[in-house]
Amino acid sequence: MNPQHVVADAAVSPLPVLLAGARPDAPSRVIHGVGVGRNAVVGPVARAHPAPSVRADAPAPVDTDAAVRRVAEALALVGDRLRERAERAEGTLAQVLAAAAAMAADPALLADATARVAAGTDPALAVWQSTEQFAALFTAAGGYLAERVTDLVSVRDRVIAHLQGLPEPGVPTLSRPSVVVAQDLSPADTAVLDLDLVLAIVVERGGPTSHTAIIAGQLGLPCVVRATDAAALVDGDLVAVDAARGTVVTAPDAQVRAAVARRREGLAALVADTGDGATADGHAVQLLANIGTAQDAERLPVAGVQGVGLFRTEVLFLDAQSAPGREDQAATYARVLAALGGRKVVVRTLDAGADKPLAFVTQADEENPALGVRGYRLVRSAPELLSTQLAAIADAASRTGQDPWVMAPMIATAAEASAFATAARRAGLRQVGVMVEVPSAALRAREILAEVDFVSLGTNDLAQYTMATDRLRGELADLLDLWQPAVLDLVAATVEAGLELGKPVGVCGESAADPVMALALTGMGVSSLSMSATAIPGVRFALRSHPMAVCRRIAEAARSAESAEHGRAAALRLVEPDVRAALALDLT
């Protein structure tokens, strides 16, 4: 599915098809959360089921022979189901499912689990204990076996759910367009979503910068996170999901459905406008897309997206059993450069560690990975990763005749920026920059910009480190609000340094996708905004509706506010009423 078509296609999806078989008879109520995106949709709930739990004091089975047979049958059944799904899937998903199926059929796992049951252990507890033992052995072995722990856990949860008579954990196989509702979704859960049938995502946990939220934004799916009351939703409930307002309305009436249809039609009309980014008085702002794969680049429309402001190359590494070689990397990078046809492409070097571990390099003993060896810091322990990647990017540039920009993540000092710039230029790359995600980099932006050609602000991590708040902790989402004045001050300090030295400063964090924040960032002097491709039409519309002078006033209002909440409200009051209406930007 082409993410660029999500908004446009949504406007013409016939409601009778979406509502067929749904349960509209329940009383209507509004569930509040944090919205990601601007779109809205009506559809039936498809409930994702949590992993089962096991009691450590579960009683011994009455009939051990029967219990042994139950475990053997459960492992065989789960293996067969995974194998069937693998045969229907393609690419990486097929490989993941096939590996899990093989794990379920492993005779060593069967022998260990059934031996425990025969000795008097509860079947579910025996499976849990067996998989924990093998998981520890795999982790200690490292490499390929360490990567298989996720498959083992997936098998464990499915087998235990079957033994306990519970639904299979994770996202169910979808048979119709649905709103996926879950406690939370792991990267593995999102990897198996049938995107042709997912209308929206609602999770009870998470936050606006969580993995689920970022993936939903990338795909243009309406998403509401921190919707704690969504726990009461069940399969078939009819709901209206409004990402702009962060609400989920159960059993929506005709008026709510009509409002959803109008929103989708209005946003689809914005997609049809494919001009470059600029304010009402012609101040240019590049509107760029964030991508993670070559396929993402090939799906981008020729018009309306001025380039790529963030190519997350770690996607190429995360599923690999070992570091991809120079030739494999070069081939992927060349596909991206060719797909963009001369448009700007900013390639971020490997950003692994913290919530994106690599089995072949991440240090297992880090007590706080977010503050450890991640991003550019990997050069301390595995310098060949960076040198190989820079050479591969240069190879891709040579093959395609393109001139990519390259930047390093997690730069904290001017010395690090200088070292990276030297390495990149030695590899033959001409446009060299770094990410500003650490407060020290923002505070010393002049010194860092003196070493490189440009910088790009990663506002998600910048907020995390400024506010000392884990971006994956949804209950602390208010501290990570993109309108936090302290974070905006660091953004402004970086931009001022760029303007002083005549070097571009872009933003590639999720804040660039917010139309009102985009106005504030433009008012500060940001030269480019990179976001999920589906967010570009709304941002373009907001920019074209306001002159630069108003953008500056919006920036000043946000920065002078005493809190994030007051800053957003002050900025929003300066936004044109027709823009607020079209993009569902509420003053409340």
* 336 and 423 belong to one structural domain: yes
Domain end: 129, 163, 197, which one?
Answer: 163
Asked if 533 and 305 count as a contact pair (C-beta separation under 8 A), the reply is yes
pTM as predicted: 0.74
Q: Is residue 237 located within the same domain as residue 311? A: no
58 domain residue, yes or no: no
Give the CATH number for residue 156: 1.10.274.10
Position with higher pLDDT, 195 vs 181:
181
C-alpha span between 352 and 375 (Å, rounded)? 5
294-307: per-residue pLDDT in tens? 988 998 988 899 99
Annotation: binding site for Mg(2+): 437, 461
* C-alpha to C-alpha distance for 307 and 279, rounded to whole angstroms: 18
Other Cβ atoms less than 10 A from the Cβ of 511: the count is: 28
- Do 71 and 189 sit in the same domain of this protein? no
Residues 6+ apart with CB under 8 A from 503: 449, 452, 453, 454, 455
Q: Which of 112-116, 409-413, 508-512, 577-581 has the lowest mean pLDDT?
A: 508-512
Q: Is residue 500 part of a domain?
A: yes
Residue 263 lies in a domain: no
Tell me which residue range forms the domain holding 226: 5-48+171-257
Indicate if 508 belongs to the active site: yes
Is pLDDT at 126 greater than 80 in this prediction?
yes
- Specify if 400 maps to a domain: yes
Residues 241 and 368 in one domain: no
Q: Tell me, yes or no, whether 55 lies in a domain.
A: no
Q: Are residues 447 and 524 in the same domain?
A: yes
**Tens-digit pLDDT profile for residues 262-319:** 999 888 889 888 889 999 999 999 999 999 889 889 989 888 999 999 999 988 887 6
pLDDT score of 204 more than 80: yes
For residue 445, give the CATH number of its domain: 3.20.20.60
Taking only the tens place, the pLDDT of each residue in 217-255 is 777 789 999 899 999 999 999 999 999 899 999 999 999
Query: Same domain for 342 and 434?
Result: yes
In a domain, 59, yes or no: no
* Domain endpoint, select from 163, 182, 207: 163
Q: Do 151 and 189 lie in a common domain? A: no
Whole-angstrom distance, CA of residue 122 vs CA of residue 116? 8
CA angle, corner 411, sides to 408 and 416, nearest 5? Answer: 95
Q: Which residues are annotated as a binding site for phosphoenolpyruvate?
A: 312, 348, 460-461, 471
Catalytic residue among 162, 508, 546, 551: 508
| pLDDT at site 10 | 36
Domain co-membership, 356 together with 310: yes
Please indicate, yes or no, whether residues 154 and 44 belong to a single structural domain of this protein.
no
Predicted pLDDT at 24: 52
Known binding-site positions: 312, 348, 437, 460-461, 471
Q: What share of the chain in percent tops pLDDT 70? A: 87
Residue 398 has pLDDT above 90, yes or no: yes
The Cα 190–Cα 182 span in angstroms is 11
- Into how many domains does the chain fold? 3
- 489 & 530 share domain: yes
Domain edge (last residue) among 143, 163, 183: 163
In the set 211, 223, 546, 551, the catalytic residue is 211
Are 103 and 17 members of one domain? Answer: no
Assess if residue 587 is contained within a domain.
no
The reply to whether 477 and 566 lie within a common domain is yes
211 belongs to the catalytic site = yes
Number of other residues whose CB lies within 10 A of the CB of residue 561 = 19
Question: In this structure, is residue 108 part of a structural domain?
Answer: yes
Residue 566, Cβ neighbours under 10 Å: how many?
Answer: 15
Look up the CATH number of the domain holding residue 35: 3.50.30.10
